[in-house]
């Protein structure tokens, strides 16, 4: 069973629903492993142009003191977009990078924009990073499980039936909602990382445009 996560749900327990980026700082609380920052989807023509192109991915590192315009310049160099709203899209990525860096409390983050066209991450898993930001610009959002619906002993075996408890309900992050996930490398968070997966990709119509940012361990 799959449920679309709503903005007014899951404000208790291990999930934090944020009204602003200031609220997202509470993801550092040991009892939390997911922060959701809902926002209405924006229709950038640039997104469709990217998904329809031969683009696969672009990665970069952004650090404290770096000029965020360098992110936009790299995206512009790699993507070579013609859409008039491309700059607005770049500005969104730049803004998310600056805010996520503050949330991590670190000095550097890794940024990756990628087209997801395979089922490589369709098994429920945890991330071996301190913290990760995910937002799906186009396509179905990331799927995740409540902690009480997880059998952690089943992780790593590539079998979702071993991870999901009976009657578990799969949750889905809405498109363009910001999700901040704790990983196994978060200080003191081993064994408490959020369990999640990518939606299945069965055809080209299931492809997704995903932005991922990782806190880099110092």
pLDDT surpasses 60 at 7: no
Give the integer Cα–Cα distance in Å for 210 and 218.
Answer: 25
Pick 10 or 174 by higher pLDDT. Answer: 174
Confidence of residue 29 (pLDDT cuts 50, 70, 90): very high
Which pLDDT value is given to residue 118?
82
DSSP conformation letters of the chain: -EEEPPTTS--STTEEE-SSHHHHGGGGSTT--EEEE-------HHHHHHHTSS--EEEEEEETT--THHHHHHHHHHH----TTHHHHHHHHHHHHHHHHHHHTSSEEEEEEEEE-S-TT-S-B--SSSEEEEEEEESPPPEE--GGGB-GGGTTSS-HHHHBPTT--EEEPPTT-EEEEE-TTSTT-TT-PPPEEPPP--SGGG-EEEEEEEEPP-
Most confident of 60-74, 118-132, 188-202: 60-74
CA 182 to chain CA mean position, Å: 11
8 Å CB contact between 140 and 197: no
- Total Cβ atoms within 10 A of residue 11: 11
pLDDT surpasses 70 at 192: yes
Which pLDDT value is given to residue 5?
53
8 Å CB contact between 42 and 137: no
Give the integer Cα–Cα distance in Å for 185 and 215.
Answer: 10
pLDDT surpasses 70 at 2: no
Which pLDDT value is given to residue 203?
85
- For position 157, which CATH number holds? 2.60.120
Which pLDDT value is given to residue 1?
53
- pLDDT tens digits, one per residue of 136-173: 999 999 999 999 999 999 999 999 999 999 999 999 99
Closest by CA position to 178, among listed 97, 67, 59: 97
Q: Which pairing describes strands 34-37 and 15-17: parallel, antiparallel, or unpaired? A: parallel
Confidence of residue 205 (pLDDT cuts 50, 70, 90): confident
Q: How many domains does the chain have?
A: 1
- pLDDT tens digits, one per residue of 104-119: 998 999 999 999 988 7
The structure's pTM equals 0.92
State the chain's mean pLDDT as an integer: 93
The parent domain of residue 194 ranges over 2-215
């Amino acid at each position: 069973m799959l449920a679309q996560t709503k903005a007014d749900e899951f404000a208790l327990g291990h999930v934090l629903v944020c009204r602003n980026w200031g609220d997202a700082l509470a993801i550092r609380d040991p009892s939390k492993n997911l922060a959701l920052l809902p926002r209405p989807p924006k229709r950038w023509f640039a997104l469709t142009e990217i998904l329809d192109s031969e683009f696969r991915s672009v990665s970069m590192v952004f650090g404290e003191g770096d000029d965020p315009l360098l992110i936009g310049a790299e995206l512009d160099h790699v993507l070579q977009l013609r859409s008039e709203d491309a700059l607005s899209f770049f500005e969104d990525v730049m803004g998310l990078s600056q805010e996520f860096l503050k949330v991590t409390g670190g000095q550097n983050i890794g940024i990756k924009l990628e087209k997801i066209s395979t089922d490589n991450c369709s098994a429920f898993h945890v991330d071996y990073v301190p913290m990760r930001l995910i937002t799906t610009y186009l396509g179905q959002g990331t799927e995740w499980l409540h902690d009480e619906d997880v059998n952690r002993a089943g992780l790593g075996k590539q079998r979702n039936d071993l991870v999901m408890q009976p009657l578990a309900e799969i949750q889905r992050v809405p498109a363009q909602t910001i999700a901040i996930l704790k990983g196994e490398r978060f200080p003191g968070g081993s064994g408490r990382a959020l369990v999640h997966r990518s939606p299945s990709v069965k055809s080209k119509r299931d492809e997704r445009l995903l932005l991922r940012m990782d806190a880099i361990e110092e």
